[in-house]
């Protein structure tokens, strides 16, 4: 049996395949803003905060996804606030909050009675955890984010270039900032089952870094990032199937191989 025929015969593989495509689309989309706005640190911090949120959800028995999203948003807002106001450097605040949320996550999980979820599944992803509900949630996130990018690409571009100029041009920078932080937080939590908390940053950064070496316009970078994100995910999932390894790490390795290849191929370009 081949990978592509198994997708349509094995339910779990079909769900994983669709979820991976949706995750790649959403993270590819947001990776452009994350990279252009240079807020990679927020992605990394938010991903780790989501772990604490998931564990808290398990402990109190409330919708884990919702708690994880809320925790991720709170974390993103705190980092953003600190980085703007300059009370403490953003690297320092992430250095404090990132291990704290991981530590709290482990402590919360140790208090969970009965079935304890496998920590490794959340750290590195586990496609067996993907459910039909996840697909629906991811589909809604993908559609809403896609439409928002289509309608407000100009605002997102100006905001990414220079907040002060954008504000003085009449753009509601706080609203765009809020959309980006919510979008990054939600897409990270939605990607955890595929990518895992440790690896999701690669999904949020590498596609746009690759795209920046190829495309010159904002729209071009968005579409190229989505393309390479999707391509790497399909190849990564296929690799995971063939070599019987975890899909999350496999996709990250493919993304990195694509990055190195594109980097070497564009090394002589002077306009990058």
Partner 1 sequence: MSNNKLLEVKNLSYSVGNNIILKNVSFDIYRGTLIGVIGPNGAGKTALVKAIVGDLEDYTGTIVLNGKVGYLPQRTDFERSFPITVKEIVAMGLYEKRGPLHHFKKEDWKKIDGFLANVGIKHFKDRRIGTLSGGEYQRAMLARALAKQPDLLILDEPEAGVDEMGKASFYNLLDNLKKSKNISILMVTHDIGMVFDACDSILCLNKTLHCHKASENVSPEDLTRIFSPDFDLILRGKEHAKREHKL
Q: Interface with partner 1 by CB under 8 A: which residues?
A: 36, 38, 151-152, 154-155, 157-158, 160-162, 164-166, 168-171, 212, 215-218, 220-221, 271-272
Nearer to partner 1, 84 or 168 (CB): 168
Q: Least CB distance from residue 169 to partner 1, whole Å?
A: 4
Nearer to partner 1, 91 or 154 (CB): 154
Nearer to partner 1, 32 or 229 (CB): 32
CA-only gyration radius of the chain, Å? 18
Nearer to partner 1, 118 or 162 (CB): 162
DSSP state of 129: G
DSSP state of 171: -
Q: Least CB distance from residue 271 to partner 1, whole Å?
A: 8
- Dihedral-angle region of residue 86 (phi above 0 means left; psi in -120 to 50 means alpha; beta otherwise): left
H/E stretch holding 135 reads: helix 132-161
Nearer to partner 1, 171 or 234 (CB): 171
Q: Count other Cβ atoms within 10 Å, centred on residue 160.
A: 20
Nearer to partner 1, 5 or 164 (CB): 164
Q: Least CB distance from residue 24 to partner 1, whole Å?
A: 21
For 220-251, b/e burial (b = at least 16 CB within 10 A) is ebbbbbbbbbbbbbbbbbbbbbeeeebbbbbb
For 113-151, b/e burial (b = at least 16 CB within 10 A) is eeeebeeebbbbbbbebbeeebbebbeebbeebeebbee
Q: Least CB distance from residue 188 to partner 1, whole Å?
A: 24
Q: Least CB distance from residue 162 to partner 1, whole Å?
A: 7
Q: Least CB distance from residue 37 to partner 1, whole Å?
A: 10
């Amino acid at each position: 049996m081949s990978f592509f025929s198994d997708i349509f015969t094995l339910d779990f593989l079909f769900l994983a395949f669709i979820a991976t495509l949706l995750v790649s689309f959403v993270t590819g989309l947001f990776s452009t803003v994350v990279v252009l706005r240079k807020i990679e640190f927020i992605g990394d911090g938010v991903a780790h905060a989501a772990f604490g949120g998931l564990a808290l959800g398990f402990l109190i028995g409330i919708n884990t996804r919702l708690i994880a999203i809320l925790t991720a948003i709170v974390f993103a807002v705190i980092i953003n606030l600190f980085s703007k106001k300059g009370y403490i450097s953003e690297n320092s605040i992430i250095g404090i909050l990132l291990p704290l949320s991981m530590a709290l996550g482990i402590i919360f999980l140790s208090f969970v009675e009965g079935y304890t979820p496998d920590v490794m599944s959340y750290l590195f992803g586990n496609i067996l955890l993907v459910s039909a509900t996840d697909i629906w949630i991811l589909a809604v996130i993908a559609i809403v984010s896609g439409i928002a990018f289509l309608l407000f690409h100009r605002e997102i571009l100006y905001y990414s270039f220079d907040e002060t100029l954008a504000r003085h041009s009449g753009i509601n920078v706080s609203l765009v900032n809020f959309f980006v932080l919510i979008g990054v937080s939600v897409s990270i939590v939605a990607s955890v089952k595929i990518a895992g908390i440790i690896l999701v940053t690669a999904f949020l950064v590498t596609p746009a870094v690759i795209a920046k070496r190829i495309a010159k316009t904002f729209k071009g970078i968005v579409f190229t990032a989505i393309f390479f994100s999707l391509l790497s995910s399909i190849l990564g999932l296929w690799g995971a199937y063939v070599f019987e390894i975890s899909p999350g790490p496999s996709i990250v390795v493919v993304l990195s191989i694509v990055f190195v290849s594109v980097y070497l191929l564009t090394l002589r370009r002077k306009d990058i």
